[in-house]
Amino acid sequence: MEKSLKRQIVEATEAVKKKVRKMKDIEINNKEALESVFKPVTEPLNLIANVSKQSAPQNIKDEEIEVPFMDKTLQKEVLSDKESNDTDDYDSDSDSDSSYKSLGEKKQDCNTTSWSVSPEALADIPFGVRYDNGKLMLGSARIIVNDEYIIVADRKYRTTPGLKQLLLKKNVDSSLVTEKDMQHYKLMLLDTNAHRRDYDPNKPIKSNKGLKYLQIIKPLFLQTKGKGLPLTKMWKKNVDFIYWDDPNELVERLKLLIASQDAGNTGVNNEIISIIEELRESNIINT
């Protein structure tokens, strides 16, 4: 068991190093690609700006500047990789809610549940998305959603029918939910405290007799006490320490983070490294 645990940690460490190198290469390629794609737009604008500085001020009626149209397919191909690697720089508060009025538009691979849900309907969804002062919220954090991505607590997830069920349904269709969906949903709950009373990390989980609690929430957070060293680690900003009785819980957390990283989140690298360091400090691994 110990050898298997060590091997998993070593493999995870190597995977993180490869990911970091790959992200640096992707960032350089994306920068060059974006400069090439937006060149037809930036050059005319720079030229107009230079001409405006040289000419004397005149009362001339403003004219509309026609910006070359960029094909949406090309734009998605260039920007998709950059978006998946820029989660840490995402400022959700700077985005207007009007940017997401097209949430009801459907794609064939994610049209099982539409994002177009009324505030009244969301108010009756336990452990899910709600409206608060005109904003979509999950627990204590704002959530931004569309048919391709879900962004919550500075993490980005790819939209799936299973995640839509977990976030928008009172009675979840489990046939649409995958194991990865459950891992991502648990990570969302941990980040936002949407499963706790008043969304307070210091308060207990909201237990009830509903199917969603009994079939989803309770199994997700059912803790089994084990023997071993008491390990502590602070997993996210401004949250109290979480105490671990079993090193296997750290490994499970590591698996969740690696799955989140595979989904395109780049903000978990430091946490993955911290887990590995914690295991080393406790003499669980020697590499």
Where does the pLDDT of residue 117 fall: very low under 50, low under 70, confident under 90, or very high at 90 and above? Answer: low
What is the per-residue pLDDT for 54? 64
Mean pLDDT for the chain overall: 72
Q: Which pLDDT band holds residue 238 (cuts at 50, 70, 90)?
A: very low
Q: Given a cut of 60, is residue 77 above it in pLDDT?
A: no
User: Which segment of 45-54, 87-96, 154-163, 213-222 scores lowest on mean pLDDT?
Assistant: 87-96
C-alpha torsion 257→259→261→265, nearest 10: -90
Residue 140 — φ and ψ, nearest 5°? -95, 0
Beta strand 231-233 with 141-145 is unpaired
> Which of the two residues, 132 and 58, has the higher pLDDT score?
132
Higher pLDDT, 276 or 244: 276
Higher pLDDT, 279 or 55: 279
Mean pLDDT score, 95-99: 38
Which tokens sit at 141? 């954090």
Counting residues of the chain whose pLDDT is more than 90, the rounded percentage is: 25
Instruction: Identify which of 145, 147, 150, 73 has the alpha carbon closest to the alpha carbon of residue 107.
Output: 147
List pLDDT tens digits, range 26-35.
Answer: 888 777 777 7
* pLDDT for 125 beyond 80: yes
Instruction: Lay out the sheet containing 129-132: strands in order across.
Output: 129-132, 135-138, 141-145, 149-152, 155-158
Q: What average pLDDT does range 14-32 have in this prediction? A: 82
Judge contact between 127 and 191, C-beta under 8 A. no
Residue 203 DSSP class: S
Q: 226 with 244: CB under 8 angstroms?
A: no
Mean pLDDT, rounded, for 83-92: 39
Share of the chain above pLDDT 70, in %: 66
The pLDDT assigned to 273 comes to: 76
In angstroms, the Cα distances linking 148 to 43, 53, 95, 224, 233 are 31, 42, 17, 36, 33
Phi/psi region, residue 127 (left: phi>0; alpha: psi -120 to 50; beta: rest), is left
**What is the DSSP pairing of strand 135-138 with strand 141-145?**
antiparallel
Q: Kindly state the average pLDDT of the residues 176-185.
A: 94
List residues bridging with 138 in a β-sheet. 129, 141
- Short-list 100, 286, 123, 263, CA closest to 184: 263
pTM (2 d.p.): 0.42
* Residue whose tokens read 């400069």: 35
The per-residue pLDDT for range 5-15, each reduced to its tens digit, is 778 888 888 88
pLDDT at residue 177, as a whole number: 94
Using the predicted structure, report yes or no on whether residue 252 has a pLDDT greater than 50: yes
pLDDT class for 196, splitting at 50, 70, 90?
Answer: very high
